[in-house]
Amino acid sequence: MKKRFLIVTVPVTNLRERPMEASFEYIHDDLQKTQLLYNEILLHRDESEGWYCVEAVEQKKAVSQGGWQGYPGWIKKESAVFIDERPPFNAVVQHTRTTIMKAPEGKAASLFPLSIGTRLVIEDRGDEDYYKTILADETKGWIKKGAVNSLKAMDDVSRLRQNIIEIGKSFLGMPYLWGGRSAYIPIGDRGIPNTEPGTGFTTVTGVDCSGLTNLAYRVNHMDIPRDAHDQWIMAAEILPEKCEPADLVFVSAEGERDKITHVMLYMGSEEFIEASETGSIVAINTFEKKFGFTLHDMAKQGFVVNKRRIYFGSILSTLDKK
């Protein structure tokens, strides 16, 4: 049977464990799996009244056979349409949020809001400030050149690391959202609304720990898995003293050293960026403030704190060797 694919047509939508609405609040919702961004490609698996069962093929999840599949779950039918072929995306939004405009001028009307991490097909028409882009419904729009990263993954690994950190910093102050993978857009913000057309359903936005790291890499044209545990599987384990900015710090579950439940974006020295827990905001933290020990002191106890194992991993280490 030929595979059928969908494309997301709203700025942000929720992928659910079951076909049930998400909460309107910043709470721990066990049915919330992840969030999907405009133009994200989905593999259609099944459907029921008002909902599609899909795989989010751009968000990889490890499977028991040792391979990878798209993150599975349910989305509302109003948030996606079927496509015949995948668009040739060549840019990704790097501002926390931006807007596609109806014309290439500052006073033009807003056409469509976008979250950081959204992929686009852009065309340079020679305008100094704007790229042309085509929406999923074939509407023509324009986006500020500075709002997108149109470059391919960099060969300069040092600069790439700096860029990942800068994107991570752009999330500072945003609320933690369990299963969140989007820039924060305040509910009721009429300048950039986040209500799905025709439904009255408002999507709560924000990031969790691995949503933050996933997007920081995605903006730099690197796809890493969605969840902290799967990011740990993909990353090469490194010694703490080899850890460089944009590497990842993983924390295991209490008493379960092979089950990763948290990830943080390492900045250098004793600092990292993290989205820690429900009720908090994205912030820069230190090992001593979070764990009660410096890196040096943690090394003396095998990087085990309160029955949790701390690991250090690098997605970029293979690039460093090229």
222 and 302 together in one domain? yes
The DSSP string of 194-219 is: -BPTTT-PBPP--B-HHHHHHHHHHT
Query: Does the residue 226 lie in any domain?
Result: yes
Contact 262, 209 (CB under 8 A): yes
Q: What Cα–Cα distance (Å) separates residue 4 from each residue in 53, 81, 84, 246?
A: 12, 11, 8, 36
Predicted confidence at residue 64, as pLDDT, reads 79
Query: Does the residue 264 lie in any domain?
Result: yes
Predicted confidence at residue 253, as pLDDT, reads 96
The total of structural domains in the chain comes to 2
Query: Does the residue 49 lie in any domain?
Result: no
Predicted confidence at residue 318, as pLDDT, reads 65
Predicted confidence at residue 83, as pLDDT, reads 95
Domain end residue (candidates: 149, 181, 197): 149
Instruction: Express each pLDDT in 268-321 by its tens digit.
Output: 999 999 999 999 999 999 999 999 999 999 999 999 999 999 999 999 986 654
Query: Does the residue 16 lie in any domain?
Result: no
* Ranges under pLDDT 50 in the chain: 189-201, 321-322
> Is 249 buried (19+), middle (13-18) or exposed (0-12) by CB count in 10 A?
buried
Contact 247, 168 (CB under 8 A): no
Of 65, 68, 67, nearest to 56 (Cα)? 68
Query: Does the residue 15 lie in any domain?
Result: no
Q: Which residue range forms the structural domain that includes residue 99?
A: 91-149
- CATH number of the domain at 228, please: 3.90.1720.10
Predicted confidence at residue 287, as pLDDT, reads 97
299 and 223 together in one domain? yes
Q: How many CB atoms lie within 10 A of CB 234?
A: 15
Query: Does the residue 137 lie in any domain?
Result: yes
Domain end residue (candidates: 111, 126, 149): 149
Instruction: Express each pLDDT in 17-49 by its tens digit.
Output: 999 999 888 999 999 999 999 999 999 999 999
Domain end residue (candidates: 149, 164, 179): 149
